[in-house]
């Protein structure tokens, strides 16, 4: 649009029953102020409850049992959560300009007052509203805007037993369905009432551009590409508009330098007070840079700009979007029965996760989306499923997915628990207003369809929409024939003729529509509840053919306990009690969590009914919260690495993909997550990151064969694989290098039986290090470190191993740009290598490089495990560095006399403010690590890249802890 201003600050809010003025009065004679009761500062975009929490008018529902102290809408009535939102803005219009007031999402309906004029926003959470307020705007003074927001019509109640979607009444509305609670979520008391998405004003000339649609088609093995573009144009003047309409396509070469790829201009006339649809002639591109999913190639994006000039008025409106040239196809694979996806003609093995939304109170932000999606890319995932009980995700979410290469499975607002089943039985016919549902669905398609990351539409979760809605969605989202069949041979350019129609004339036309998450190549494909399981497993079970019987599992879940610092941050001290471990007659253990853990949906690390011993107790008795959470991280790493490696080991033979339930929590839950709501990663994050590498070496825990996975399109030859076993005494009883290996593209290649188990005296607990590297230059392609016990055994011998003092050497360098820090931490295990082996053990973890120059600043070290006397020298060194700005590499030593593996090392970043209160959470979050929860064998070095932003006035320090390093090493970073 020609000019857009986002209204995201300066809002006030008040409960409607406490405001004694009308909307007309609020926007004319009696505007409120922040100092006037009952008005308070509001979060917009956001919800009523988010605003109440911000103002401490209610307890934090994410802390402890605070949610139980908040009045539920079922008990208060809808008026209690009916709120006024008020703001002011400036808007100067010239004589031929028009102004629109835009709401991208309101839940559930609203009465809008602007400068005394009333407008009504109809119902529906997932619809955009654009109001022409040209004749209402005050160009020469402040504009007063008041919005009275009404909750959903059917907020429902919460049965004592809780359950999936409460009493399911919310399913009668076109709104988020998780808000009545789920087995991973407490109820949201206001049911997300509020102005929950972007509010803006936009200024255009007499002609407005509406919802352009971009589609690309490919020929000659993706060398020739055509861009099709269609847009609606609205002439709001009383005269015929003589227009010049242009489309401009550029690509960024470097920095802010752009190359113009295509420029096309067309002249047209638009009748007065009318809307027309215009299709550009095809734009031709030869060998463009393609957009690829994460792990398959670069995410090349082109900037498409559409501009309309009106004779006598100049530029009237403009629109721009980052667009990726790519083709996504899929079909049901004959060999596996699973849906097999192809991108740009290449099959892609799907490894991803289920997504609810980033925050249960809809405190959505571009910054948080950036962190969320980068985390998923860092785990080497290539797909995110937006679950039907949550959101139709926002453009900011999709822009991040475009940039980081995450394919998106987007569901509409149907869930099996709320539509047709459950206790009490829910409404079997879905939402009451089917026309409203379809309106919201069609508007959502228009909002999102130009994003290359969007891969498919799905009717609902574990349920299909009612028949009439399903038929309508199938018709609306039917494929253009060019995109219809993945197995068809390339069509000649003549196939995109008027006979078939322009693909951009379709509502979408490029993506499949699947009626439900358990149909047509997902789970059993027929709608039976064949996803899951959702609890702790024996790691080796993931590798057995009997574990899961269908080709593509859209939901399989497990544990997700965060670190101890998070538990202390989200719960009072009574929530720091670890579970009771009750031994049952069958010899298995039942965990009994404390009431606060239970309320936060804790899922145990044992499963007596499935004969899974408590995986935390495999490491011995648990002493306290810190011990429990550290051992939980060991389990998290093993559990999720095994899950993904087990699926990958049968790539194309049994499976086409898997999506883990779930990647994150929209609140402070204690299950199914790779990072917590505070944005600190669990060790499961790094287990996934390891297992989902595009090129990966792994141990099959069922067969004990070592396998090489190549999910790329290139054959890899002249490879070598190093296999080394390390015991708890620091010796290497087994070492073998396998040379001249080949890894075929898109294949899993078994290499060799891991014979150590069959040796004369295998140790009951041991470490296994696998490395895959190029023989030509010793470049490491994959590194994988296991801790293992003999069949039927446990890890209890690791408990005394914690007393080992392994020497470490840390070489550090720092890059600082504004508030952004990037650290390179080179960590070496300096304990003596076995004399009989001459091993080169160097590994560098890589990550996306930020622009800028590197400055190497000194970092000082404290070894708290060896005494306080070091701290004096450390602080002196820091002050010296501040004064002199030293630029050399800093080498730090951690003392230790033992030889062996430095096990389960992990970094964290904290504020070094010495005035913080005891027990205060000093972590700086989020942090992006190239790797974490890593282990080093004697002589081995790893480089860990750490990047983060520092709040104003905070000095950061970096802490290193480990299983057998009880102290901490602190690196003080410089300004």
Residues catalogued as catalytic: 462, 555
- Element at 871 (helix H, strand E): helix 869-884
Neighbours of 460 (CB within 10 A): 30
Nearest residue to 803 via CA among 627, 964, 967: 964
Residue 863 near residue 895, CB atoms below 8 Å? yes
What are the DSSP calls for 568-614, one per residue?
A: HHHS-GGGGPPPEEEEPTTS-EEEE--HHHHHTT---S-BGGGTB--
Contacts of residue 268, Cβ cutoff 8 Å, sequence gap at least 6: 243, 245, 276, 278
- Measure the CA–CA gap between 72 and 334, rounded to whole angstroms: 50
Q: Which helix (H) or strand (E) holds 737?
A: strand 734-743
Q: How far apart are CA 374 and CA 380, in angstroms?
A: 10
> Are the C-beta atoms of 667 and 678 separated by less than 8 Å?
no
Task: For residue 697, list its beta bridge partners.
Answer: 708
Asked if residue 388 lies in contact with residue 435, where contact means CB atoms within 8 angstroms, the answer is no
User: Which one, of 482, 498, 500, 480, lies nearest residue 490 by Cα?
Assistant: 482
Q: Which residue has the tokens 């538990």?
A: 567
Please write down the long-range contacts of 332-336, taking CB distance under 8 Å and 24 or more positions apart.
332/520, 332/521, 332/525, 333/521, 333/551, 333/652, 333/656, 335/652, 335/653, 336/551, 336/552, 336/652, 336/653, 336/654, 336/655, 336/656
Q: How far apart are CA 175 and CA 448, in angstroms?
A: 18
The H or E element spanning position 748 is strand 747-753
Please list the residues that pair with 409 across neighbouring strands.
385, 456
Compute the distance between CA of residue 50 and CA of residue 52 in angstroms, rounded to an integer.
6
For residues 84 and 38, the answer to whether their CB atoms sit within 8 Å is no
**Separation of alpha carbons 928 and 49, rounded Å:** 30
CA neighbor of 462 nearest in space, from 182, 671, 158: 182
CA 69, CA 423: separation in Å to the nearest integer?
A: 25
Query: Distance (Å, rounded) from C-alpha 800 to C-alpha 729?
Result: 12
Distance separating alpha carbons of residues 551 and 670, to the nearest angstrom? 29
How do strand 842-844 and strand 716-726 relate by DSSP bridges? unpaired
CA distance 912 to 122: 51
Strands laid side by side in the 328-332 sheet: 328-332, 339-343, 346-348
Q: Which residue is associated with the tokens 């959505």?
A: 364
Check if the beta carbon of residue 805 is closer than 8 Å to that of residue 897. yes
For 406, the token pair is 């995450």
N-to-C CA span, the chain: 40
| Residue 34: C-alpha distances to residues 13, 19, 84, 673, 875 (Å) | 9, 14, 13, 39, 45
Look-up of token digits 């290598």: 833
Decide if 359 contacts 382 (C-beta within 8 A): no
């Amino acid at each position: 649009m020609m000019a857009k201003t986002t209204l995201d600050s300066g809002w006030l809010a008040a409960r409607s029953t406490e405001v004694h003025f009308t909307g007309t009065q609020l926007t004319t004679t009696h505007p409120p102020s922040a100092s006037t009761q009952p008005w308070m500062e509001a979060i917009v975009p956001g919800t009523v409850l988010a605003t109440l929490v911000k103002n401490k008018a209610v307890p934090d529902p994410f802390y402890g049992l605070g949610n139980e102290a908040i009045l539920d809408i079922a008990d208060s009535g809808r008026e209690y959560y009916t709120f006024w939102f008020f703001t002011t803005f400036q808007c100067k219009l010239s004589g031929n300009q028009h102004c629109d007031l835009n709401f991208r999402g309101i839940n559930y309906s609203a009465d809008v007052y602007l400068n005394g004029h009333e407008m009504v926003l109809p119902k529906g959470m997932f619809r955009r509203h654009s109001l022409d307020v040209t004749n209402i705007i005050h160009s020469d003074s402040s504009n007063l805007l008041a919005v009275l927001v009404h909750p959903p019509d059917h907020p429902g109640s919460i049965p004592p037993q809780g359950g999936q979607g409460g009493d399911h009444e919310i399913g009668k509305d076109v709104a988020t369905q998780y808000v009545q609670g789920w087995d991973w979520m407490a109820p949201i008391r206001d049911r997300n009432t509020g102005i929950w998405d972007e509010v803006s004003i936009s200024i255009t000339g007499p002609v407005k551009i509406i919802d352009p649609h971009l589609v690309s088609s490919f020929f000659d093995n993706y060398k020739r590409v055509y861009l099709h573009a269609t847009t609606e144009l609205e002439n709001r003047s009383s005269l015929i508009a003589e227009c010049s309409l242009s489309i401009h396509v550029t690509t960024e070469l470097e920095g802010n330098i752009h190359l113009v790829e295509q420029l096309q201009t067309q002249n047209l006339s638009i009748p007065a007070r009318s809307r027309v649809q215009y299709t550009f002639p095809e734009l031709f591109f030869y060998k463009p840079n393609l957009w690829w999913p994460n792990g398959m190639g670069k995410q090349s994006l082109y900037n498409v700009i559409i501009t309309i000039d009106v004779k006598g008025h100049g530029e009237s409106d403009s629109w721009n979007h980052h667009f990726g040239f790519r083709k996504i196809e899929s079909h049901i694979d004959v060999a596996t029965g699973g849906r097999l996806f192809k991108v740009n003609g290449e099959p892609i093995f799907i490894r991803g996760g289920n997504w609810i939304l980033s925050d249960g109170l809809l405190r959505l932000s571009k910054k948080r989306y950036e962190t969320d999606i980068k985390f998923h890319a860092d785990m080497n995932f290539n797909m995110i499923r937006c679950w039907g009980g949550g959101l139709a995700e926002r453009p900011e979410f999709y822009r991040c997915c475009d940039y980081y290469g995450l394919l998106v499975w987007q569901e509409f607002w149907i869930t099996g628990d709320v539509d047709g089943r459950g206790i009490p039985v829910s409404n079997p016919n879905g939402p009451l207003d089917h026309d409203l549902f379809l309106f919201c669905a069609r508007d959502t398609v228009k909002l999102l369809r130009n994003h290359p990351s969007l891969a498919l539409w799905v009717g609902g979760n574990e349920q299909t929409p009612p028949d009439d809605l399903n038929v309508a969605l199938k018709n609306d989202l039917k494929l253009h024939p060019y995109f219809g069949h993945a197995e068809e041979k390339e069509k000649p350019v003549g196939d995109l003729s008027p006979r078939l129609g322009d693909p951009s004339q379709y509502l979408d036309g490029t993506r499949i529509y699947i009626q439900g998450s358990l149909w047509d190549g997902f789970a059993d494909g027929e709608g039976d509840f064949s996803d899951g399981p959702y609890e702790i497993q024996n790691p080796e079970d993931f590798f057995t053919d009997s574990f899961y019987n269908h080709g593509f599992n859209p939901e399989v879940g497990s544990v997700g306990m965060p670190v101890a610092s998070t538990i202390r941050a989200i719960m009072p001290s009574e929530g720091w009690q670890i579970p009771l471990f009750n031994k049952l007659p069958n010899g298995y253990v039942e965990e009994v969590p404390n009431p606060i853990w239970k309320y936060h949906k804790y899922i145990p690390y044992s499963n007596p009914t499935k004969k899974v011993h408590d995986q935390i107790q495999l490491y011995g008795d648990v002493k306290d919260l810190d011990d429990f959470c550290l051992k939980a991280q060991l389990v998290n790493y093993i559990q999720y690495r095994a899950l993904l490696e087990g699926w990958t080991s049968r790539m194309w033979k049994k499976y086409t993909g898997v999506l883990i339930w779930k990647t994150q929590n929209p609140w402070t839950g204690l299950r199914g997550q790779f990072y917590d709501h505070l944005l600190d990663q669990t060790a499961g994050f790094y287990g996934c990151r390891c297992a989902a590498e595009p090129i990966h070496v792994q141990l099959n825990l069922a067969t004990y064969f070592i396998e090489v996975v190549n999910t790329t399109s290139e054959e890899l030859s002249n490879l070598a694989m190093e296999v080394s076993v390390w015991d708890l005494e620091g010796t290497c009883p087994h070492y073998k290098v396998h040379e001249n290996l080949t890894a075929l593209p898109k294949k899993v290649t078994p290499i060799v039986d891991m014979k150590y188990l069959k040796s004369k005296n295998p140790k009951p607990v041991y470490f296994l290090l696998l490395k895959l590297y190029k023989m030509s230059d010793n470049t490491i392609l994959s590194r994988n470190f296991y801790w293992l016990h003999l069949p039927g055994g446990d890890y209890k011998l690791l408990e005394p191993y914690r007393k080992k003092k392994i020497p470490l050497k840390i070489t550090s360098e720092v890059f600082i740009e504004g508030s952004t820090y990037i650290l390179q931490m080179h960590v070496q295990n300096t304990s003596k290598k076995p004399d009989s082996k001459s091993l080169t053990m160097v590994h560098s973890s890589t990550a996306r490089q930020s622009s800028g120059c590197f400055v190497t600043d000194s970092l000082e070290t404290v070894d708290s495990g060896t005494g306080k006397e070091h701290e004096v020298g450390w602080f002196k060194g820091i002050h010296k560095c501040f004064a002199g700005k030293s630029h050399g590499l800093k080498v730090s030593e951690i003392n230790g006399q033992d030889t062996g593996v430095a096990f389960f090392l992990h970094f964290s970043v904290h504020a070094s403010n010495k005035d913080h209160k005891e027990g205060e959470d000093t972590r700086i979050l989020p942090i992006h690590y190239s790797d974490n929860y890593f282990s080093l064998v004697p002589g081995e070095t790893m480089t860990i890249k750490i990047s983060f932003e520092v709040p104003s006035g905070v000095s950061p320090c970096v802490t290193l802890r480990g299983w057998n390093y009880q102290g901490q090493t602190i690196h003080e970073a410089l300004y």
